[in-house]
Amino acid sequence: MKYKTLFSPIKIGNMELRNRLVVPAMGTNQCNQDGTISQGFIDYWSARAKGGWGLCTVEVTAVDPLGKASMAVPVLYNDKFIPGFKSLIDEVHKHGTKIGIQLHHGGRETLSVYIGGKQVVAPSPIPCPVCRETPRELSTEEVYQLIEKFGDAALRARKAGADCVELHGAHGYLVAAFMSAYSNKRIDEFGGSFENRMRFPVEIIKNIKRKAGNDFPILMRISADEMSTGGRTIDETRMVARTMEEAGVDCLHVSVGVYASNPYVVPPAAVSPGWILSHAEEVRKSVSIPVIGVSRISDPKMAEDAILTGKADLIAMGRQSIADPEYPNKVAADKENEIAPCIACCQGCIGQVLNPEKLRISCLVNPFATIEGKAKINPTKEPKNVIIVGAGPAGLEASWIAAKRGHNVTVFEKEKSDKFGGNFRVAAFPPAKQEITKALRYYKVMGEKYGVNYKFKTEATAEKILNEQPDVVIIATGARPIIPEIPGVNRPHVSTANEILLGKKQFGNKVLIIGGGMVGCETADFLGEYGTEITIVEMLPQIAQDVVFNVNYHLQKRLSDYGVKFAVNTKVKEILEDSVMAEKDGTDIELGPFDSIILAVGFTSINDLESQLKDKVEVHVIGDAKEPRKALEAIFEGSQVALKI
């Protein structure tokens, strides 16, 4: 086997895992509103158990009604919830995977709407900087009651058949809040000194041991560095680690951050893979129990290296396990090129889980995430001749799925084989977007595996398509940049963002970007590396409103470092030779001078073929050809149409 250490067994307490790969607890919001286990939740975890992971960790399971972190999280504060967990655990065990339940209380990092309208609670009445609801300070008596509730929940987990529990002592939630001087200002036995701040988790661990048994493994997730003013750093975390080992913890899972530093808790592609393994290594030096490392790791070579060099004993791959539940099996079978890669875009996972209209997570690269039981790639009973026009993300996704089902699939693409991908490929050019190329490569590999016929450098016409005698045509021709009707827009120093990113047009030293959405800001990010003076004009009151918050955090930091200027609530009315006339808050202003004007005002669909084909063959329009949106929606549409035909 290629990665012998990664796939070697390891013991946590008396629990033996078949390999070192862990699915950590991540909020997926798939349970029923009353906290019971849904079939979708079982399907989700079953898919990852089948995928060959050593340990799966069921997320943020509330031990108390006031501890729920969202609307659809699992709960275990009553015996009536045991049967649902047993159904889930039994399904996971069928596939040889161990499963743990993360015991959790949101503390101040939740909202009253999630806990029946009641006031949130915390060690001290200090609001979370993100949730911003003033909590009620828990009385000393209530703290002791919560200690009992954690132990009771652990016993229920064991009765349901769980192999272990994980105490969530990271990310600023209640246990972490008690442990940190950042959020704990108490002066009773649970505050003040280091020993007192550790009392809450230590007593919880003792309570779990007393109720669930000394032979029931306890893992604990901690933030090595809270990355907040006054928060814990690695120096104190080493003391925490030793204290928790002495209390009876069997394994430590090392993360970072609190809600206030969330862009590092769920880091986008701007944060390098493996960036906090050094923290795990420091913790590992301080204890004799196993340590789980995590930090945007998806390359098995990095995972193997981390274990071999003593940085960690196990590796947790959160979003990578969402992107591809079959990751361990594919690595073990030497099929790394078939792994659906996490590109750290954050659109479907953290971007969806915090969206009140979505809640349930998804994944840009894996549109089947959290709908595993409903969306399955089953063989077709009626193979068809399918023509797909366009090798952008929607077309590529549709092509390999349709081919896997048994259809004869041909893709027409006007670009060369090394230039496919449409606007999704262009999106990979700005800094911190490099992971996109991995996704495009994955789609092509999967298409080739299942026999997709790619016709590159082929401009599709209705005649060419009909000559192929198709049963189905899928139009995935994407979108082109909008050229706004502004006087002077055809001047020679005006170009689109795509032309700049692809090197088709040269830019000057002083640049104005018209449009402050994702494309405009990422183009500024691209130009900032060259020392360019940049101004972004945006009609709305804020820039980058279409960028996921944790991605936006790092993007804004870079734009600030580059000295990018912003003119919001501003509309460009005319482009002059070296300046522009604009209107801001009802007043005409002149901005300039500028050497280059770059247009980033959106896209318009390319769909010239539908009207020519719709009466002659079954036609589906997907992705930006249907309506310009993010790749998340385009790829989902590609998957869905491929399942229907």
Q: Report d(CA 632, CA 343) in Å as an integer.
A: 12
Nearest in space to 76 (alpha carbons), one of 154, 140, 187 = 154
Residue 642: CA count within 13 A, CB half-sphere: 34
Neighbours of 613 (CB within 10 A): 18
Task: Report CA-CA distances (Å) from 91 to 48, 97, 301, 373.
Answer: 11, 10, 30, 13
Spatial distance between the Cα atoms of 173 and 179, rounded to a whole number of angstroms: 10
Q: Considering Cα of 395, then 399, then 402, then 408, what sign does the dihedral take?
A: positive
Determine the residue type at 57: T
Q: Which helix (H) or strand (E) holds 596?
A: strand 596-599
Which residues 6+ apart lie within 8 Å of 547 measured at CB?
517, 518, 521, 555
Which of 527, 537, 515 is CA-nearest to residue 592? Answer: 537
Continuous segment of H or E residues that includes residue 322: helix 318-323
* Distance, CA of 168 to CA of 67 (rounded, Å): 12
- Round to whole Å and give the CA distance between 73 and 62: 8
Q: How far, CA to CA in Å, does 182 sit from each of 124, 127, 179, 305, 571?
A: 10, 11, 9, 34, 44
**d(Cα 162, Cα 327) in Å, to the nearest integer?**
23
Q: Is 562 a catalytic residue?
A: no
Residue 192 burial (CB count, 10 A):
14
Alpha carbon distance 171, 559 (integer Å): 27
Single-letter amino acid code for the residue at 8 = S
Per the CB < 8 A criterion, the answer to whether 391 and 368 are in contact is no
3, 77, 173, 264: which one is catalytic? 173
How far is the C-alpha of 220 from the C-alpha of 245, rounded, in Å?
Answer: 10
Exposed (0-12), middle (13-18) or buried (19+): which is 569, by Cβ within 10 Å? middle
Identify the three-state secondary structure at position 611. helix
Tell me the catalytic residues: 173
